[in-house]
C-alpha cells in the first residue's frame, strides 16, 4: 500500500509549476487529489493524466465564498480532507517606485488572503481527518526564501506576503499540534516555472541563467517528505535552494 493511500489532498495552484508537480507526486503516493486553480483546461489535462485519483475544481483563491463552497465540495465528494497544500501564488518584483499598486494588492490577495481563506475553510475537515485512521492531518504552505529574509529590494511586497504566511503558519502550528494537525512551510529558492519565466521574479535574468534553477519536482519532493512522516514527527520548515543560489 502506498503511504498516502486512502487520503485526500487539496492542492491550490495545481494548473502549473510547483502545484502541478505536487499534485502529481501526491497522487503517485496514492492520495486522491483535488486540483484547484482558475485555468480549468490545464487542470483537466492533469486530471486526464492522473485518472480517477484526481478531481478538478475551478476556483479563484481570492474569492472567499467560492473557496468555502469548493472546499466543502471536495470534502463531500472525496471523503474529507487530510492534506491541504497552499501553493497558489503570484509574484511581481520591481523597485517600489516603478511598481503598480494594483500588482502589490494582487500579491496580498493571492499570497496572503488566498492562503487564509483556503485554510479557514479546510480547518474543520483537517481536524476531523486527524481523528480518523491516519491519526494526523497536514497543512503545507509554499512560502519562499523571501519568507525568511529580504534578499533584494525588488522583493518588497512579495517578501512581505511570504513573511506574513510564515507568521500565520507558525501560529497555526502552535495551535493545532495538540489536535494532530501538522502545519509546515516549504521555502523554495528559484524554481523554473511560469512565475520565474513570466516576470522579474529571478530579479535579473542573467543571474537566473547562471544558476541551475530547481525544477518544480524538487519542491514536490519536499512536500511529499513532509506529509509522509510518521504521526509523531512534524517537519515544520524546509528551505530548499538551488545548489548554486547564494542568497
Ligand X SMILES: NC(=O)c1ccc[n+]([C@@H]2O[C@H](COP(=O)([O-])OP(=O)(O)OC[C@H]3O[C@@H](n4cnc5c(N)ncnc54)[C@H](OP(=O)(O)O)[C@@H]3O)[C@@H](O)[C@H]2O)c1
What are the catalytic residues? 158
Quote the cell numbers at residue 13. Answer: 495552484
- Per DSSP bridges, beta strands 137-142 and 181-188 are parallel
Binding-site string for ligand X from residue 225 to residue 244, where x marks contact by CB under 6 A and - marks none = --------------------
**Residue 154 touches ligand X, criterion: CB under 6 A:** no
User: What gap in Å lies between CA 105 and CA 117, rounded to an integer?
Assistant: 16
The set of cell numbers assigned to 168 is 500565520
168 near ligand X, rule: CB under 6 A: no
184 counts as binding ligand X under rule CB under 6 A:
no
- Size of interface with ligand X, in residues (CB under 6 A): 30
Q: Is 203 in the site for ligand X (CB under 6 A)?
A: no
| Spatial separation of the C-alpha atoms in residues 144 and 89, rounded to whole Å | 10
- Does 204 help bind ligand X (rule: CB under 6 A)? no
Which one among 33, 56, 110, 222 touches ligand X, defined by CB under 6 A? 110
List 136, 185, 191, 224, residue binding ligand X (CB under 6 A): 191
Q: In angstroms, rounded to a whole number, what is the distance separating the alpha carbons of residues 223 and 226?
A: 5
90 binds ligand X (CB under 6 A): yes
Binding flag, residue 188, ligand X (CB under 6 A): yes
33, 220 Cβ separation under 8 angstroms = no
Instruction: Select from 4, 11, 18, 183 the one that contacts ligand X (CB under 6 A).
Output: 18
Contact call for residue 245 and ligand X (CB under 6 A): no
**Binding window for ligand X (CB under 6 A); candidates: 16-24, 68-76, 77-85, 222-230:** 16-24
What burial class does residue 64 get, using C-beta atoms within 10 Å of its C-beta: 0-12 exposed, 13-18 middle, 19+ buried? middle
Contacting range for ligand X; rule: CB under 6 A; set: 85-93, 167-175, 224-232, 236-244:
85-93
> Using an 8 Å Cβ cutoff, are 173 and 224 in contact?
no
First to last CA, the chain: 40
At 247 the three-state DSSP class reads coil
Q: Please, are residues 85 and 22 in contact by the beta-carbon 8 Å criterion?
A: yes
CB of 165: closest distance to ligand X in angstroms? Answer: 9
List residues near ligand X by CB under 6 A. Answer: 12-13, 15-19, 37-39, 42, 60-62, 87-91, 110, 142, 144, 188, 190-191, 193-196, 216
Amino acid at each position: 500500500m502506498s503511504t498516502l493511500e486512502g487520503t485526500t489532498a487539496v492542492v491550490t495552484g495545481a494548473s502549473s509549476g510547483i502545484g502541478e508537480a505536487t499534485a502529481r507526486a501526491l497522487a503517485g503516493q496514492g492520495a486522491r487529489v483535488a486540483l484547484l486553480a482558475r485555468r480549468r483546461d490545464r487542470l483537466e489535462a492533469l486530471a486526464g493524466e492522473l485518472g480517477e485519483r484526481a478531481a478538478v475544481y475551478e476556483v479563484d483563491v481570492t474569492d472567499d465564498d467560492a473557496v468555502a463552497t469548493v472546499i466543502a465540495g471536495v470534502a463531500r465528494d472525496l471523503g474529507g480532507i487530510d492534506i491541504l497544500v497552499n501553493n497558489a501564488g503570484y509574484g511581481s518584483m520591481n523597485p517600489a517606485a516603478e511598481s503598480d499598486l494594483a500588482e502589490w494588492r494582487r500579491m496580498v490577495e493571492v499570497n496572503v488572503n488566498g492562503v487564509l481563506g483556503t485554510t479557514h475553510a479546510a480547518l474543520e475537515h483537517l481536524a476531523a481527518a486527524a481523528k480518523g485512521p491516519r491519526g494526523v492531518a497536514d497543512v503545507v504552505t509554499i512560502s519562499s526564501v523571501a519568507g525568511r529574509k529580504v534578499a533584494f529590494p525588488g522583493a518588497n511586497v512579495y517578501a512581505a506576503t511570504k513573511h506574513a504566511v510564515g507568521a500565520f503558519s507558525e501560529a497555526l502550528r502552535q495551535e493545532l499540534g495538540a489536535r494532530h494537525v501538522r502545519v509546515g512551510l516549504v521555502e523554495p529558492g528559484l524554481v523554473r516555472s511560469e512565475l520565474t519565466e513570466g516576470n522579474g521574479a529571478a530579479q535579473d535574468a542573467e543571474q537566473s541563467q547562471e544558476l541551475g534553477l530547481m525544477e518544480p519536482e524538487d519542491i514536490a519532493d519536499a512536500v511529499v517528505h513532509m506529509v509522509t512522516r510518521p504521526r509523531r514527527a512534524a517537519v515544520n520548515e524546509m528551505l530548499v535552494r538551488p545548489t548554486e543560489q547564494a542568497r
